[in-house]
Chains A and B, each alone.
Chain A
């Protein structure tokens, strides 16, 4: 396929649910940052420069416990190395409009959800679509952090606790619908979840490293036994 039909308008539209989902997660991040005595601008700068959930939460722990700089770099590397797999995967779906400068900029916006949505397109994607897709999630992530950090002390503990499940609900909403359509996806999700439970309950492997093991093992098993046909890539309905 040489034509990419995805547009900026479609990108913005696809970005809205991600941006809304990010509001609640980044709100939680803002709250936690405020609890660790970071100022509102500091919390917002972390969100605007990182745009990643697990990495930022882990980074916050290291900052508040005055961990070493090496620990910070290593932790980010382990937790976020999955993005390298996603970038590699997404690099296969870019059309010719993606010259190096555009790759340099849009690479910043590759998150789990943006990747999932972009890679679910059955067409090649162009740069306008990618920029548009990143915009609203980026704003949602930044504004949610701002609101959470500012609201800091105001929210009752029980509400804060309940908000903790938001990001996981969103993850389920991303993986369940394609799991219903594709047995391969379902198998990958189940294998990955099972290994994740094993490493969580039986070993001391850090969560970031565990994610890599689970993802690689499950995706390899699914690819081996249920390889995808080129025309079989499921369209995610948004």
Chain B
């Protein structure tokens, strides 16, 4: 029962955040600054969500870094989202296997 309330609060809060500006805001923004600001927002958000968290996204910083470099190279080559994501996972996976084989 408590779980249902948690889920209700979670989903309702998240929905309201998305819905209110979307429904209430009808005017076209004229200001070049605000237009530019809104254009840059998604990239800024994703940058802040990725760095530095990507370095701690697996159990091991080294495998995270190898995965990160792999993802960077693939992204620069314009590979699709899924290809980049899987390549990063595979690189991290292989690195962890190699690390576990090296006696510390």
**A contact set with B: CB distance below 8 Å:** 17-18, 20-21, 24, 38, 42, 45-46, 49-52, 54-56, 59, 62-63, 69, 72-73, 76-77, 80-92, 100, 103-104, 106-108, 110, 112-113, 115-116, 119, 157-159, 161-180, 184-185, 188-193, 195-197, 200-201, 207, 210-211, 214-216, 218-220, 222-224, 226-228, 230, 233, 237-238
| B51 lies within 8 A of A228 (CB) | no
In this complex, what residue of B is CB-closest to A161?
Answer: B59
| B47 lies within 8 A of A228 (CB) | no
Given the known interface contacts A20-B82, A172-B72, the answer about A166 and B88 at a Cβ–Cβ threshold of 8 Å is: yes
Question: What residues of A have a CB within 8 angstroms of the CB of B18 in the complex?
Answer: 80, 83-84, 86-87, 107-108, 110
Distance of A104 Cα from B52 Cα, bound (Å): 35
B5 within 8 A of A: yes
| B42 lies within 8 A of A189 (CB) | no
B29 within 8 A of A: yes
Interface residues of B in 46-104 (CB under 8 A from A): 46-54, 57-60, 63-64, 67-68, 70-72, 74-76, 78-90, 92-93, 96-97, 100
The prevalent SS among residues of B at the interface is helix
The prevalent SS among residues of A at the interface is helix
Question: What residues of B have a CB within 8 angstroms of the CB of A165 in the complex?
Answer: 54, 57-58, 64, 67-68, 71, 88-89, 92
The interface size bin for chain B is 35 or more
Question: What residues of A have a CB within 8 angstroms of the CB of B23 in the complex?
Answer: 100, 103-104, 107
| B67 lies within 8 A of A80 (CB) | no
Distance of A91 Cα from B49 Cα, bound (Å): 23
| B50 lies within 8 A of A193 (CB) | yes
| B45 lies within 8 A of A112 (CB) | yes
Task: Map CB proximity to A onto B5-44 as digits: 1 under 8 Å, 0 otherwise.
Answer: 1110111011101111111011011001111111111111
Question: What residues of B have a CB within 8 angstroms of the CB of A87 in the complex?
Answer: 17-22, 25
B1 within 8 A of A: no
| B14 lies within 8 A of A55 (CB) | yes
Question: What residues of B have a CB within 8 angstroms of the CB of A172 in the complex?
Answer: 50, 54, 68, 71-72, 75, 84, 88
Question: What residues of B have a CB within 8 angstroms of the CB of A63 in the complex?
Answer: 3, 6
